[in-house]
């Protein structure tokens, strides 16, 4: 019988560099699948439907909740995000490992529902670095940046529920560390 895939959850405060890191990992470990989330927030410039997220209206999001289409969903920074359940379960059953880039609330729900999930928390080197990364991004306005910084402090309280913590000082070093965690999990 085929071995079930492993679920890797990566969370970090917004601006922690998670998207770039996930992209690098997915390029290097081509056998890993990425779960594209559904969100009711508007696309940012450069984001594409079906690649970065599945962008839906609030009404469509409600319907998906009613139809139990999410493995988890959460409200983050005033918007809703959810992990499509069917893709997740089919991929795992097929024996393929999968990466979820989701927030701390979602990670805890996944841990509860999929006991074997491996949770990785990506930390910025400091709050100063996080603040400057968020400001540099310029895709969010000032109040949005402040909201995300406040939330980052709250999110740190969830660190204890994660299996691994990785400090993102240097992109390639962080990618290597996460790749080693994934490899170790797969061989254990």
> Shortest gap between Cβ of 19 and ligand 5GP (angstroms)?
7
Contact 95, 3 (CB under 8 A): yes
> Shortest gap between Cβ of 81 and ligand 5GP (angstroms)?
3
Sign of the Cα pseudo-torsion (163, 103, 5, 178, in order) = negative
Tell me if residue 81 falls in helix, strand or coil. strand
By rule CB under 6 A, what count of residues binds ligand 5GP?
15
**Interface with ligand 5GP (CB under 6 A), residue from 7, 40, 83, 88:** 83
Number of Cα atoms under 13 Å in the Cβ half of residue 118: 19
Residue 9 makes contact with ligand 5GP by CB under 6 A: no
Residue 106 makes contact with ligand 5GP by CB under 6 A: yes
Residue 98 makes contact with ligand 5GP by CB under 6 A: no
Tell me if residue 97 falls in helix, strand or coil. coil
For tokens 């559904």, the residue is: 38
> Shortest gap between Cβ of 140 and ligand 5GP (angstroms)?
8
- Residue 127 to residue 16: CA distance in whole angstroms: 10
**Interface with ligand 5GP (CB under 6 A), residue from 7, 17, 64, 82:** 82
CA-to-CA dists, residue 23 to 28, 33, 61, 92, angstroms = 9, 11, 26, 20
* Rg (the chain; Cα; Å): 16
Interacting span for ligand 5GP (CB under 6 A) from 60-68, 78-86, 119-127, 159-167? 78-86
**Interface with ligand 5GP (CB under 6 A), residue from 22, 32, 76, 122:** 76
**Interface with ligand 5GP (CB under 6 A), residue from 102, 108, 122, 130:** 102
Structure token pair of residue 115: 């006991």
Beta carbon nearer to ligand 5GP, 5 or 82: 82
Q: What angle do CA 177, 104, 41 make, to 5 degrees?
A: 110
> Shortest gap between Cβ of 42 and ligand 5GP (angstroms)?
10
Sites of contact with ligand 5GP (CB under 6 A)? 14, 37, 41, 72, 74, 76-77, 81-83, 101-103, 105-106
């Amino acid at each position: 019988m085929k071995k079930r895939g492993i679920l890797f959850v990566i969370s970090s405060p917004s601006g922690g560099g998670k998207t770039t890191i996930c992209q690098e990992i997915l390029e290097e470990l081509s056998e890993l699948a990425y779960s594209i989330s559904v969100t009711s927030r508007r696309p940012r410039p450069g984001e594409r439907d079906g690649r970065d997220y599945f962008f839906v209206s609030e009404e469509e999001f409600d319907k998906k909740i009613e139809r139990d289409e999410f493995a988890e969903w959460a409200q983050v920074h005033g918007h809703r995000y959810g992990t499509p359940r069917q893709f997740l379960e089919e991929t795992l059953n097929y024996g393929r490992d999968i990466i979820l880039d989701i927030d701390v609330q979602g990670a805890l729900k996944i841990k509860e529902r999929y006991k074997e999930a491996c949770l990785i928390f990506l930390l910025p080197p400091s709050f100063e670095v996080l603040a400057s990364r968020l400001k540099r991004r310029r895709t969010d306005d000032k109040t949005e940046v402040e909201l995300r910084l406040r939330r980052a402090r709250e999110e740190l309280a969830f660190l204890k529920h994660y299996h691994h913590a990785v400090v993102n000082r240097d992109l390639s070093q962080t990618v290597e560390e996460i790749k080693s965690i994934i490899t170790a999990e797969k061989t254990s």
